[in-house]
Structure 1
Amino acid sequence: MNRLPSVDLLIRQPGLAALAGEHGHNLVVGAARAVLERHRSGGEAVPSLDMLAEQAAAEARGRTATALQRVYNLTGTVLHTNLGRAQLAEAAIDHAAMAMREACALEFDLATGGRGDRDTIVEGLICELTGAEAATVVNNNAAAVLLVLAALAGRREVVVSRGELVEIGGAFRVPDVMRAANVKLVEVGTTNRTHARDFEAAIGPKTAALMKVHASNYRIEGFTKAVAQSEVAAIAHAHGLPFIEDLGAGSLIDLVALGLPAEPVVRDCIAAGVDVVTFSGDKLLGGPQAGLIAGRKDLIAKIKKHPLKRALRVSKMTLGALEATLLAYRKPDLLTRDLPTYRLLTRPEGEIAALAERMAPLVGAALGTGWHVTVTPVGSQVGSGSLPEEVIASHAVCIAPAGKGSGKALAALADRLRALPVPVIGRVAGGSLLLDMRCLEDEAGFSAQLELLK
């Protein structure tokens, strides 16, 4: 073909005509025009009509493909921020789907027929599980901290230990949140040691609150000193001030009972005298992205009245998923069955090792003789800033190149794994690519697509 065809001729080709019925005439026309324009401006030889039709079909399919893709998380980090953090329970998925599919009583009081408050959907459950007097929810924990500070301490001072001024993912820093809330930060103590007397000395006429931040994503060891929650609470209350704590991950249960490393429990914070606690919904809680705020009734009422609350409120889908997740905690003996977060974190090491032994030969056969594929013990992590130095025994399929140039070979293999229909995400360590089997539950699906690596 020496000349480019017209758009009309191109879209009348059988493959494109069928796509128009599936995706609509306008989308296919746009795809055809885009392909023709690329060839018109490229100055290359004009392909055949069939080839142009194939290119237009690929363009049309690409325009309907979703950017948010399912992946296999074989990194060994269960709550991986870049891979979506907590996987939701089936009950949470179903309840969120109901909220999306049907009309629902989001802000409607079924008892009175009048307007309701969307927070009531989950407030009772949060209070039941934490011991708080009241609660509210916003779209993530950073938003929760921002709202609490703006509502309770706007244009005033908040006292925080210097050792707790942490930076979380994405270079998001606690001092930055405080500035955004129009709060003046008063740092006390030093990086490694803060005493009760430091909090006492910092309190003045402009002080609005005392605050602690759980340093979940780092640890200082050695010559250290931190002030206990009960001590900070006593100081705050003696001066008529609220005591705020940002827990970050915010577990609702004692993880030690599940054989996991200890992490602060929200109920214990409330019992120790913390007036307002903020924590995430998609970390150790095992639910959707959300920021939960629990505490004293009068303070929560003030927080809910702040203008930012409406700007930061969550959707009906989030509330549906969160309600179902919280309901799972009423059956504590079944949490490791019903919540994927705890099912994966407590997965028996022997089960993971057996899975790795089954997968290694399949991976080796798919990759061929240029690779050494073995099974090796590794350490999984909780992730999302929780327990950063704690590892949980796991096993991985270990892939090492047989020849030279291991760095380039591993990078190329990682590219191939990410290009699979369901991308496979592992981690490179010690000159090998590790596929940690802790989070692999779809054994059949993973195995089936290995054939595409040959």
Structure 2
Amino acid sequence: SNFRIVGFTAEVELPELVEIGQAHGIPVMADLGSGALLDTADFGLAHEPTVQESVAAGAAVVCFSGDKLLGGPQAGIIVGQARYVEPMKRHPLARALRADKLCLAGLQATLMHYLRDEATEQIPVWRMIATPVEELDRRARRWRRALARAGVRAEVVDGRSTVGGGSLPGETLPTRLLALPLPDPQRVAEALRRHDPPVVARIEEDRLVLDPRTVLPEEERALLQALLEVVAG
């Protein structure tokens, strides 16, 4: 689902589809995919339609993911008008496809963060999206100093973070990268992936690159330990 069609393209907006459906007695189902509950435009990204907007537009049924931009466990969620949702709950397939208790517990915990207005502080994907560049710069420089003490040369450079995750195709955010000029960055990248815990870096312009936007603060110690063991060790 993570793609973009460019060029001379057009699509019928959901409110217009709902109006056509109502005129002909046909319920309209909207498949959102990303499950966004926050407006991505508030974070410098293109606007991703939210679940609330689709429901308000009059869609009879709205489908979306429990992971992706919602930020919870992988699951499929259906909301909408009771006369359409209730028969789905009673359908024999619902028993085969229903989420287990662990998934429901994770989903409940995730949604509670939205209800408490703390999604950008508690849900990993939104923590990463909401982190300002100034904070990313401070963290990247802290990593560089830690590596320098072990004799490892690194630079802090401008970069872009790709959101990805099955949503916001082509959208990026500004970031600050830790770049390591190494003789064989491919070998080091492979060694990091084999490390426990694994570290997935990328290579740009023959340098091993790490993006602090994709690393939560509580993961920094493990990351630096892996870098020191693989690069300096």
Same fold (TM over 0.5): yes
Q: Which residue among 349, 353, 361 is the counterpart of 2:133?
A: 349
Post-superposition offset of 1:295 = 0.8
CA–CA distance in 1 between the matches of 2:151 and 2:165? Answer: 32
CA–CA distance in 1 between the matches of 2:164 and 2:147? Answer: 26
String of CA shifts for 1:286-336, please: whole Å, max 9, x gaps: 11111110111111112112221111111111111111211221222x222
Is it true that 1:391 corresponds to 2:176 in the alignment? Answer: no
TM-score calculated relative to the size of structure 2: 0.90
CA–CA distance in 2 between the matches of 1:381 and 1:339? Answer: 18
Is it true that 1:435 corresponds to 2:210 in the alignment? Answer: yes
Q: Are residues 361 and 298 of structure 1, via their aligned partners in 2, closer, same or farther at CA, if it must alter by over 3 Å? A: same
CA–CA distance in 1 between the matches of 2:182 and 2:228? Answer: 19
Post-superposition offset of 1:345 = 0.9
CA–CA distance in 2 between the matches of 1:418 and 1:365? Answer: 24
Q: Are residues 366 and 309 of structure 1, via their aligned partners in 2, closer, same or farther at CA, if it must alter by over 3 Å? A: farther
TM-score calculated relative to the size of structure 1: 0.48
Q: Which has the higher contact order (CA 8 A, sep 6+)?
A: 1
The equivalent of 1:299 in structure 2 is 84
Q: Are residues 357 and 269 of structure 1, via their aligned partners in 2, closer, same or farther at CA, if it must alter by over 3 Å? A: same
Post-superposition offset of 1:261 = 3.3
String of CA shifts for 1:347-385, please: whole Å, max 9, x gaps: 1111111111121243456575xxx62111111122212
String of CA shifts for 1:212-265, please: whole Å, max 9, x gaps: xxxxx2222332221111111122222211211111102112222344431101
Which structure has the greater CA radius of gyration?
A: 1
SS at match of 1:293: strand
Q: Where in structure 2 are the equivalents of 1:144-155 lying within 5 Å?
A: none
String of CA shifts for 1:257-288, please: whole Å, max 9, x gaps: 34443110111111112111110111111111
Is it true that 1:327 corresponds to 2:102 in the alignment? Answer: no
CA–CA distance in 1 between the matches of 2:122 and 2:205? Answer: 36
CA–CA distance in 2 between the matches of 1:276 and 1:344? Answer: 30
Q: Are residues 295 and 282 of structure 1, via their aligned partners in 2, closer, same or farther at CA, if it must alter by over 3 Å? A: same
Q: Which residue among 192, 196, 199 is the counterpart of 1:417?
A: 192
Does structure 2 conserve the Cα–Cα contact (< 8 Å) formed by 1:259 and 1:346?
no
The equivalent of 2:57 in structure 1 is 272
- Identical aligned residues as a percent: 38
Does structure 1 conserve the Cα–Cα contact (< 8 Å) formed by 2:45 and 2:172?
no
Is it true that 1:358 corresponds to 2:133 in the alignment? Answer: no
SS at match of 2:109: helix
String of CA shifts for 1:163-190, please: whole Å, max 9, x gaps: xxxxx4xxxxxxxxxxxxxxxxxxxxxx
Post-superposition offset of 1:338 = 2.3
Does structure 2 conserve the Cα–Cα contact (< 8 Å) formed by 1:362 and 1:450?
no
Q: Which residue among 368, 373, 377 is the counterpart of 2:154?
A: 373
String of CA shifts for 1:111-168, please: whole Å, max 9, x gaps: xxxxxxxxxxxxxxxxxxxxxxxxxxxxxxxxxxxxxxxxxxxxxxxxxxxxxxxxx4
CA–CA distance in 1 between the matches of 2:16 and 2:104? Answer: 35
CA–CA distance in 2 between the matches of 1:327 and 1:358? Answer: 33
- For structure 1, list consecutive stretches of 5 or more residues without a partner in the other structure: 1-167, 169-216, 403-408
Does structure 2 conserve the Cα–Cα contact (< 8 Å) formed by 1:366 and 1:450?
no
What is the Cα-based RMSD across aligned positions, in Å? 1.9
